[in-house]
């Protein structure tokens, strides 16, 4: 009885045909490999370009962060200088007010006039000279106090503006 093999090919294989198929397959593989190599080269170039852009962005970011830190430091120092200046202005204002009070107390003209007039040991001519001198001193005192008041007012206005 003849045996039938279902898996056997009924055709005869042609060696020329097989060689052609293998050459075609090898050519297809070579073309696919060449395409993959081209894609790989293109992707490497794109990767290098993106890497360069990333490095530029990092460098720019680094410089921006440094500038921001420097600006913050300058702002902090400026705020400290403003606080120091404000404290000096407040101190100066207090000093000017004290000087104004001292000028007022030191040149109490009416009290000095009474003391001169009530002093029996002073000659009338000397009393007259003393009173005239006191009038000039009173004018000077008024000018000094006006200048002090002007300085005090200017400082107070400046301090109000900078709050």
Per-residue pLDDT of the chain (163 residues; tens, 9 = 90+): 555 555 555 555 677 788 888 999 999 999 999 999 999 999 999 999 999 999 999 999 999 999 999 999 999 999 998 888 888 888 888 888 888 888 877 777 777 777 777 877 878 777 788 778 877 777 788 888 888 888 888 888 888 887 6
Q: Quote helix, strand, coil % in the chain, to nearest 5.
A: 85, 0, 15
Any idea what the Cα angle at residue 69 is, between residues 66 and 74, rounded to 5°?
125
Distance CA 129, CA 92 (A): 37
DSSP string covering 9-29, please?
Answer: -SSPPPHHHHHHHHHHHHHHH
Q: What is the largest CA-CA distance in the chain?
A: 175
Domain spans of the chain, in order of start: 15-161
């Amino acid at each position: 009885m003849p045996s039938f093999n279902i898996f056997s090919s009924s055709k005869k294989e042609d060696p020329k045909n097989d060689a052609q198929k293998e050459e075609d397959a090898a050519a297809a593989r070579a073309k696919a490999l060449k395409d993959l190599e081209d894609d790989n080269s293109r992707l490497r170039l794109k990767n290098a370009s993106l890497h360069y852009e990333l490095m530029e962005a990092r460098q720019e970011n680094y410089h921006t962060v440094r500038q921001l830190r420097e600006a913050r430091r300058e702002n902090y120092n400026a705020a400290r200088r403003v606080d120091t200046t404000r404290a000096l202005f407040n101190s100066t204002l207090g000093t000017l007010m004290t000087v104004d009070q001292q000028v007022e107390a030191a040149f109490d003209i009416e009290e000095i006039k009474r003391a001169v007039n009530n002093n029996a040991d002073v000659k009338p001519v000397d009393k007259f000279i003393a009173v005239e001198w006191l009038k000039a001193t009173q004018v000077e005192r008024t000018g000094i106090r006006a200048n002090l008041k002007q300085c005090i007012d200017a400082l107070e206005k400046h301090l109000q503006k900078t709050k």
